Amino acid sequence: MATSLGARNSNGNNGNGNSRRLNRKRPLTPIDDGISDTYNDRNNDYICPICFGVIEEAYMTKCGHSFCYECIRRSLDENSKCPKCNFQITDKVDPIFPNITLNELIIKHKRRLDVANKCESSVSKAANIIRGNRLDVADILSSKSNDDMVLSDINYLLESLSEKKQQLELNSKSNRLQLLKEFLLQSRKNKEEQLNDLKTKLDLLSNDLKVVEENLVQFPTASTSPAFNGNVGVAATSNNLNSTVNAGANGFNGSKYVNPKYLVSHSISERRKRLSIHYEDLEDCYFSIKQSAGSKDDSLELFMEHLSKFTKFDRFRALATLNYGDLYNHSSIVSSIEFDRDCDYFAIAGVTKKIKIFEYSSIIRDAVDIHYPVTEMTCSSKISCISWSAYHKEVLASSDYEGTVALWDAFNGVKTRCYQEHEKRCWCVDFNKVDPKLFASGSDDAKVKLWSTNLEHSIASLEAKANVCCVKFSPVSRYHLAFGSADHCVHYYDLRNTSKSLADFKGHRKAVSYTNFVNENEIVSASTDSQLKLWDLNVPYCTRTFRGHSNEKNFVGLATDGDYIACGSENNSLYLYYKGLSKQLLSFKFDVVRSIFDKDSRDDDSNEFVSAVCWKRVTNVLVAANSQGTIKVIPDFYPVLMFHNHYNAYDNMNLIVSP
């Protein structure tokens, strides 16, 4: 490199006779503005051989070497040779020309360097901020000039550092105190709000307690009531009791009449125990009613009604047992149970492809376990759902796994009409409660079809976004229905405008398997997320969620009488909820019988489940069935007796209880 640089002389030769000049040492040109240890970091392709910096405005000679424009121009003014290879440049007009490609590469290179430098600068600033004055002090103490420092300088530094330390400590403590103050203020505010809320609730309780005590003065005390003698007992005449015992002894199942062992007393302590289990729900119910009701007297009466209904029943008791299957059918899942218009008969249908009609009065009268249907109808496929007409006693509708919807003359056992417009499995069918001709069905083809009993084809169709699992008409309107589907929602429609739903109730985490109207303004839905949800048609959110049963994959049934909600569970149990409370009130466990000849055999670890539930209207009678085909007629849940001076006969079973 030194040889080529020293060869430039005025004669243009290779420096013969001037060897002293070649040996003369001079300082090397600084690289990258004199910043040490940077040359190796740069790309050599972008370095100007003259100034050793990144090329600015690259120009190229005819020999192919590139330089900064200013550098090569000054060099050629002094010497017409290439500074890199000593190539003689004879062209005086255009000795150099721009290297456009290299210029573009250099621009990109500079951009990358700028980004890298900015990142390094940010990191360096952050590090300096973190280290703070410690670096400055360290620099002062480690500098060469510290030999000239005297003791006073050291004392000054120590005083400065001490003042800085105190200032930092004060600022830190001030910040901590400020943060603590904000926390205490917020906590006090929250507690004051809770205290005000608690005072309001205490005032409500005190006022209501005063009202109740004033009303109690008008009634005799519990201790003077004939029904109370240390505990609450069952009042029964000796004739009725004797007839009950004798009739029970003559029956095979002994379940038709009240067994004396059920005539147990219910002490006040037992009632308190049941209240304590549901205390939180009852408390929430009380204050919710008090806040929403306009009149205090009305709100107290309403809560007393809730409390009375909550404590009305004590336990389930099965009156009769039927069997849907036979000796040769191992799979006897009951999918649907329905009472007719007058509740004289009930129909049972399921996977055995049979619809069986039973007379309710004969079931509860017979003292034997074996009951025969008055009518039996056979279908071509497994039956998913049945529904009685609300006007025509003999008309029954069914849906099956092949997508067929059929109408039957139930008492003659004849199929009167057959509809086959659904493309996939049909899960549900329901008659309109107001229009005697209108009924609906829902299917896996994501359609709800409307039918008329006097027409051969559907009259309308609702398009759903997912498989339809259930459909129910409003009990008071011919135009409104609700259906649940696999999209986890309950959809509420007005049939006068089927293009858009009136409401879509969202909240379930899995498919909605059942919907039912509790009353004209409320809907209850069941889902395979093991939850029941209560919906008010006037609000878009769930008003109450019921938990306790287990349901993750099967249809387990759903029924309501307006106050109580019954559903099945996958632990082979029937569950009862009251609509005003979230927790279950009662449950009834089905026995698992492995053989019809071995009824005493039990298997608690089975996979059986309750598959269908139906309520006998205007009564407290439940009919439920499980996946084994066992049907239980449960004539009410066992009542908890109330403190009154009068009694009424209960369900013609010689059990005397208060209303």
Q: What secondary structure does DSSP assign to 224-261, as a single string?
A: GSTTBSSSB-----HHHHHHHHHHHHHSSS--SS--GG
Contacts of residue 250, Cβ cutoff 8 Å, sequence gap at least 6:
367
**pLDDT per residue over 108-125, tens digit each?**
888 888 877 766 665 555
Looking at the chain, the domain(s) classified CATH 2.130.10.10 span 321-640
Instruction: Report the sign of the C-alpha dihedral through residues 63, 66, 67, 69, in that order.
Output: positive
Spatial contact of 525 and 532, defined as CB atoms under 8 Å apart: yes
Asked if the model's pLDDT at residue 645 lies above 70, the reply is no
Mean pLDDT over the full length of the chain: 78
In the structure, what pLDDT confidence band is assigned to residue 366 with cuts at 50, 70 and 90? Answer: confident
Using alpha carbons, select from 566, 629, 244, 426 the residue that is nearest to residue 418.
Answer: 426
Strands 313-316, 637-639: parallel, antiparallel or unpaired by DSSP? antiparallel
More confident residue, 22 or 369: 369
Cα separation values, 497 from 246, 449, 494, Å: 62, 14, 6
Asked if the model's pLDDT at residue 91 lies above 80, the reply is no
Using alpha carbons, select from 607, 606, 571 the residue that is nearest to residue 589.
Answer: 571
Strand partners, 277: none
Asked if the model's pLDDT at residue 370 lies above 90, the reply is no
Q: Provide the strand spans (E) within 247-344.
A: 313-316, 320-323, 334-339
Distance CA 513, CA 518 (A): 16
In the structure, what pLDDT confidence band is assigned to residue 577 with cuts at 50, 70 and 90? Answer: very high
Asked if the model's pLDDT at residue 14 lies above 80, the reply is no
Question: What per-residue confidence (pLDDT) applies to 299?
Answer: 82
Using alpha carbons, select from 590, 526, 529, 600 the residue that is nearest to residue 558.
Answer: 526
Question: What per-residue confidence (pLDDT) applies to 178?
Answer: 93
More confident residue, 286 or 428: 428
**pLDDT per residue over 131-187, tens digit each?**
554 555 566 566 545 566 678 877 888 888 898 899 999 999 999 999 999 999 999
- Tokens 């006040």 appear where? 268
Question: Domain 2-111 classified CATH 3.30.40.10?
Answer: yes
- To the nearest 10 degrees (0 to 180), the angle between helices 279-292 and 296-310 is 150
**pLDDT per residue over 308-319, tens digit each?**
777 777 777 888
Asked if the model's pLDDT at residue 40 lies above 90, the reply is no
CATH number of 321-640: 2.130.10.10
Question: What per-residue confidence (pLDDT) applies to 307?
Answer: 80
Looking at the chain, the domain(s) classified CATH 3.30.40.10 span 2-111
Dihedral of CA atoms 602, 604, 609, 610 in degrees, nearest 10, equals 60
Tokens of 383: 């039956």
